[in-house]
Amino acid sequence: MNLMCCETETLKRAYEDPVLLKDDRVLQNLLATEDKYMPSPTYFKCVQTDIKPYMRKMVAQWMLEVCEEQRCEEEVFPLSMNYVDRFLSVLDIPRTRLQLLGAVCMFLASKLKETSPLTAEKLVIYTDNSIRADELTDMELLVLNKLKWDISAITPHDFLEQILCRLSMDKEKCDVIKKHA
Amino acid sequence: MTSRRDGLEQNYEEIAVIGNGAYGTVYKARDLKNDGQFVAMKRIRIQNTEEGMPMSAIREIALLKQLENYEHPNVVRLLDVRHTDHTASEIRLMLVFEYVDQDLSTYLEGCPPPGLGPDRIRNILVTSQGTLKVADFGLARVYGFQMALTSVVVTLWYRAPEVILQAAYATPVDIWSCGCIFVELFNRRPLFCGQSDIDQLSKIFDILGLPPEDDWPENVSLPWNSFKAVPPQPLEQFVPEIDNDAKDLLEKLICFNPHRRLSAQEAMNHSYFRDDLDSLRTSSSLSVSEGESFETDGRSDTPSKHGGS
């Protein structure tokens, strides 16, 4: 969330902001907006001709590994899965392009959420060089166009703090929940 | 795939060029898919890099798209975004916005307030019904790398002390900026014009006084005692035209401790705005959109509170 231009080595985090947590309008907006970012639940049947659910699972596991190994911000993985599902809801692609799609979605989510995002080079290496950097950037434009640039999506992760602060639970328990979320 | 056009060119018919800048060109156009209604079409060029689409463009446009969900009456609608073309060095984007007839400069034609040059108000539009709309939210950063340097300096004057001190920060930073701009509306010049981070803090403390040590944020590299202990100065000394209501509001907007600064909603409910709205409604052609915190209590016409002529 580093919007200003202070180039510091240590990552400063925003503190828990009562303006955002104590105001019910925020939660209501999240609930009202969430629908707009929902993928189609039937895309395996209605859109995809080659890709099967188990392939999505495989690419999701690979993406989670990359995000964990690169210590990405927690929201990067759920956000990139949101892009994968929404893209697959609108365009039929062959299985050979699925890993490229997964890489691009992490690329985008990371640029949206992180101060030092995943680089194209790293992502290419994680695919064992099965994709090229120029394929990644070309696909990035296609994904942005297909998602209509609407990539500041609401994910389950956004509700976590909002719900936790409304439960009367001690801080330790909250931390445990956040860790396992 | 280098030249995807998605039939975009057929959707919009350009009528006239209405703006030109380093970033690209703005056209007035017709949206042929929507009964030929007018739109503002911005063709912008973005530097392409090995990392693809720049982070700033992704963030600003994604944020604008998310804002669309709320259909805020005072924010210009972003109707469409497409990338039209790209090469190894450049990405061309087209952003389609709701068309608004005039910017604030045109609206105030003949009587621009002193100190507010046309450059300053180009991003505020006024519809024919007199509704204000903010345009180009942070899109300046999308437009270009050539702007990066100057914007760093300019925003410093409006930057909250906790940001300069590199402490943790949150929404109160925007309230601080609003306070600085509030003063500028009275004075027609900025309040804290620092030349560097340290100078900016000194200029803030010269007016607000050095805050008590308890208010100093934790874990910051600049210690509290590196600044001279100076007492707070009466604000009206720096904002001669301010009245008591406005002064009370200002003190709560530029409060050093971010936890004690007003929230946006609290500020909207401050008595300064309540009186002000009454007089606006009855004495000016500007209409302000109805919002939940905007109820008036039906008092009779009071003279405008803004001392500035």
pLDDT in tens, A104-139: 999 999 999 998 999 999 999 999 999 999 999 999
Q: What residue of A is the nearest CA neighbor of B175?
A: A19
Spatial distance between the Cα atoms of A122 and A143, rounded to a whole number of angstroms: 19
d(CA A147, CA A83): 8
Annotated binding site of B: 42
Distance from CA of B259 to the nearest CA of A (A): 9
Pick the more confident residue, A65 or B297: A65
Q: Chain A, 76-115: which have a CB under 8 Å from a chain B CB?
A: 107-108, 111-112
pLDDT at residue A148 greater than cutoff 60: yes
Residue list, annotated binding site of B for ATP = 42
Write the residue in B50, B83, B263 that is nearest to A120 by C-beta: B50
In angstroms, the separation between the Cα of residue A180 and the nearest Cα of chain B is 25
Q: Which residues of chain B have pLDDT under 50?
A: 1-6, 117-118, 144-154, 284-285, 287-309
CB within 8 Å: B170 and A117: no
pLDDT for the residue numbered B140? 52
Contact A23 B59 (CB under 8 A): no
State how far the Cα of B9 lies from the Cα of A58, in Å rounded to an integer.
39
- Residue B166, chain A, CB below 8 Å: the answer is yes
Which DSSP symbol is given to B73? T
For residue A149, which residues of chain B lie inside 8 Å, CB to CB?
Answer: 61-62, 65, 81
For the cut 90, the answer to whether the pLDDT of residue A181 exceeds it is: no
How large is the ipTM?
0.88
CB B21 within 8 A of CB B43: no
Indicate the residue type of B84.
T
Give contacts of A150 with chain B, Cβ < 8 Å. 62, 65-66
Q: Is B48 helix (H, G, I), strand (E, B) or coil?
A: coil
What angle in degrees, to the nearest 10, is found between the helix axes of A76-90 and A98-113?
130
Chain A environment of B263 (Cβ under 8 Å):
19
What's the DSSP call for residue B49?
A: B
Sheet holding B124-126, edge to edge: B102-103, B124-126, B132-134
Spatial separation of the C-alpha atoms in residues B134 and B128, rounded to whole Å: 15
Instruction: Give the tokens for residue A139.
Output: 């696909």
On whether the CB atoms of residues B220 and B166 are closer than 8 A, the answer is: yes
Which bin fits B21, alpha (ψ -120 to 50), beta or left (φ > 0)?
beta
In angstroms, the Cα distances linking A78 to A30, A157, A162, B19 are 16, 7, 17, 40
- Give how far Cα B3 sits from Cα of A141, B26, B86, B143, Å: 11, 21, 7, 21
pLDDT at A172 over 90: no
The pLDDT value given to residue A102: 98
With bands split at pLDDT 50, 70 and 90, how would you rate the model's confidence at A42? very high
CB of A32 less than 8 A from some CB of B: yes
Cβ neighbours for B21, distance < 8 A, ≥ 6 positions apart: B143
Q: Does B70 touch chain A (CB under 8 A)?
A: yes
Task: Summarize the confidence of residues A159-179 as an average pLDDT.
Answer: 84
CB contact under 8 A, A141 and B83: yes
Residues 260-279 (B) with a CB less than 8 A from some CB of A? 263-265
pLDDT above 90: residue A66: yes
Choosing among A8, A152, A154, A165, which should be mutated to test the B contact, i.e. which has the most B CBs within 10 A? Answer: A152
The pLDDT of residue B300: 38
* CA dist., res. B20 & res. B135, Å (int): 16
Tell me, yes or no, if A74 comes closer than 8 A to chain B by beta carbon.
no
Nearest chain A Cα distance for residue B204, angstroms: 19
What is the C-alpha to C-alpha distance for residues B87 and B192, in angstroms, rounded to an integer? Answer: 43
Q: Do B4 and A141 count as a contact with CB atoms less than 8 A apart?
A: yes
Q: Which two tokens stand for residue B29?
A: 């156009």
What is the reported pLDDT for B293? 40
Is residue B20 less than 8 Å (CB to CB) from chain A? no
Whole-angstrom Cα distance, residue B266 to residue B288?
18
Q: What is the pLDDT of residues B36-60, one digit of tens each?
A: 999 999 888 888 888 999 888 898 8
Which of chain A's residues have a Cβ under 8 Å away from the Cβ of B200? none
B50 to A136: CB separation less than 8 angstroms, yes or no: no
